[in-house]
């Protein structure tokens, strides 16, 4: 199983991306939550409120997910991270049934 970690400008964008990926059957489910992010952008330190989208999928879908997210994400440089994960057998089975 693979987790995809995506930072978004707000909850609305996280929901939009999640629905898009679910409709395309690239992910089985997602979790979204508010975060505070600090980073350097264009020479300045930023301190921003964002939303994280954590999506569960198959490893083979990472490339397709990156492409789809880049098409609709508002950031010039979106954070799209792949995290390898191990799940309990029944949850892993469910994810594999839900995702193409």
Question: Domain total for the chain?
Answer: 1
Look up the CATH number of the domain holding residue 56.
Answer: 3.30.70.120
Answer yes or no: are the C-beta atoms of 17 and 10 closer than 8 Å: no
- The answer to whether 99 and 61 have CB atoms below 8 angstroms apart is yes
What confidence score (pLDDT) does residue 41 get?
Answer: 92
Q: pLDDT band for position 26 (50/70/90)?
A: very high
Give the pTM.
Answer: 0.94
Q: Quick one: average pLDDT of 16-29?
A: 98
Q: What is the pLDDT of residues 88-99, one digit of tens each?
A: 999 999 999 999
pLDDT for residue 14: 98
Q: How high is the pLDDT of residue 31?
A: 98
* Cα–Cα distance measured from residue 33 to residue 1, given in angstroms and rounded to the nearest whole number: 21
Quote the domain boundaries for residue 63: 2-98
Helix axes of 62-72 and 11-23: crossing angle, nearest 10 degrees: 130
């Amino acid at each position: 199983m693979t987790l995809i970690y995506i930072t978004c400008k707000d909850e609305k964008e996280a929901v939009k991306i999640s629905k898009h990926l679910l409709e395309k059957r690239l992910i089985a489910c997602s979790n979204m939550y508010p975060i505070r992010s600090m980073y350097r952008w264009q020479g300045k330190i930023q301190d921003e409120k964002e939303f994280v989208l954590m999506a569960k999928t198959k490893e083979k879908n990472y490339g397709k997910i990156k492409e789809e997210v880049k098409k609709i994400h508002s950031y010039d440089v979106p954070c799209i991270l792949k995290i390898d994960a191990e799940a309990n057998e029944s949850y892993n089975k469910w994810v594999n049934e839900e995702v193409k």
